[in-house]
Amino acid sequence: MIQIILLVFGLIDILVGVSILYPGILSSISFYMAVIVLLKGIFSFGSAAIKNYWLDWMGAVDIIAGIVLLTGFSIPYFWVLPIFKGLYTILRHYADQSFLH
């Protein structure tokens, strides 16, 4: 079950990166993706801060990506980070799986 959730979150991160790069393509769902990513980032960064871990780069990328999508503000080449984060999330949890059981 957790692998499916991580796959969905990774795909959302990739779609957010694409939506930042090409704002017109996914404009109909970009608000919902922005809210999901912003809430995911707040939860991630907040839970890391409670543990006194202040270097949660994944949560920070989610928060910034959510704000970028909500406001339409553009940061040059920022789209690379959500796409990298999504690929990292997917590969980290699926690369060690053996599908040939």
The pLDDT assigned to 3 comes to 80
The type of residue at 78 is F
The pLDDT assigned to 8 comes to 92
**pTM score of the predicted model:** 0.87
**Pairwise CA distance, residues 85 & 80, whole Å:** 8
The pLDDT assigned to 4 comes to 86
The pLDDT assigned to 43 comes to 96
52-86 in b/e form (b: 16+ CB < 10 A) is eeeebebbbbbbbbbebbeeeeeeeebbebbbebb
**Pairwise CA distance, residues 32 & 87, whole Å:** 21
Render pLDDT for 27-56 as a digit per residue (tens, 0 to 9).
889 999 999 999 999 999 999 999 999 899
Please identify every stretch of the chain with a pLDDT value under 50, giving residue numbers as ranges: none
Q: Is 68 helix (H, G, I), strand (E, B) or coil?
A: helix
The pLDDT assigned to 62 comes to 96
